[in-house]
Chains A and B, each alone.
Chain A
Amino acid sequence: EVQLVESGGGLVQPGRSLRLSCAASGFTFDDYAMYWVRQAPGKGLEWVAGISWNGGDIGYADSVKGRFTISRDNAKNSLYLQMNSLRVEDTALYYCTKGAGVSLALGWFDPWGQGTLVTVSS
């Protein structure tokens, strides 16, 4: 069974940094692109970042470009999101989700983890 388990969320002050992790199991991790999607409290889904199987292709939403960095460690079956210069509007539940193939071209997401909550507040 595919499992995605996010961690690293918490309460952080504006301007500070946080690193999210996603531990993957139940599938061959380096056969798939991976993504982060977030959901602000009571709001809809917002794609944040995506990374191809080997990290060769990466994409970011305009709202996080230059502040967030997605990465992966295939040896550890893990996905990461380094979040710098955090803003109040980054407050959200952050989901890790698996792509449909090695590249970012097959752009559907399944399954999803349960999410890790990031709260940015002073």
Chain B
Amino acid sequence: DIQMTQSPSSLSASVGDRVTITCQASHDISNHLNWYHQKPGKAPKLLIYDASNLETGVPSRFSGSGSGTDFTFTISSLQPEDIATYYCQQYDNLPTYTFGQGTKLEIK
């Protein structure tokens, strides 16, 4: 099984800050890595697919990069509405899929 390790588990930042979350896979997963956020009390929402592709309608301040085992998710300028828990998810080991444990993002 492929394990996904996200860091940090929680993060506090100020509005306007650049925020970075990392996700490490236990095996090479090419670019088969997606990012979601989940706002409090809401369903998750897809932000980035295939490591770096921005989902339609998602603000351009969100971006993703990486391949192989190491991936990065970035918010270029944190906005108040970005408060959420962020998850990475791999789909290289079909037909099973694994989420990271999540990163809870708060405003300082």
Chain A residues within CB distance 8 Å of chain B: 35, 37, 44-47, 50, 57-59, 61-62, 95, 100, 104-105, 107-115
Contact = CB atoms under 8 A, between A and B. Distances in A.
In the A-B complex, list the 4 residue pairs whose CB atoms are closest, starting with the nearest: A107-B91, A59-B95, A110-B46, A112-B43
B46 A47 contact: no
B34 interface: yes
Classify the interface of chain A: helix, strand, loop or mixed. Answer: loop
Classify chain B: how many residues form its interface, as a range.
Answer: 20 to 34
Interface string B58-94: 0000000000000000000000000001010101001
B49 A104 contact: no
Interface of B: 1, 32, 34, 36, 38, 43-46, 49-50, 55, 85, 87, 89, 91, 94-102
Given A50-B95, A59-B95, A109 B46 contact: yes
Nearest to B53: A108
Contacts of A45: 36, 38, 44, 87, 89, 99, 102
A37 B98 CA distance: 10
B97 A110 contact: no
B83 to A, nearest CB: 17
A108 B49 contact: yes
A53 B32 CA distance: 21
A47 B97 contact: yes
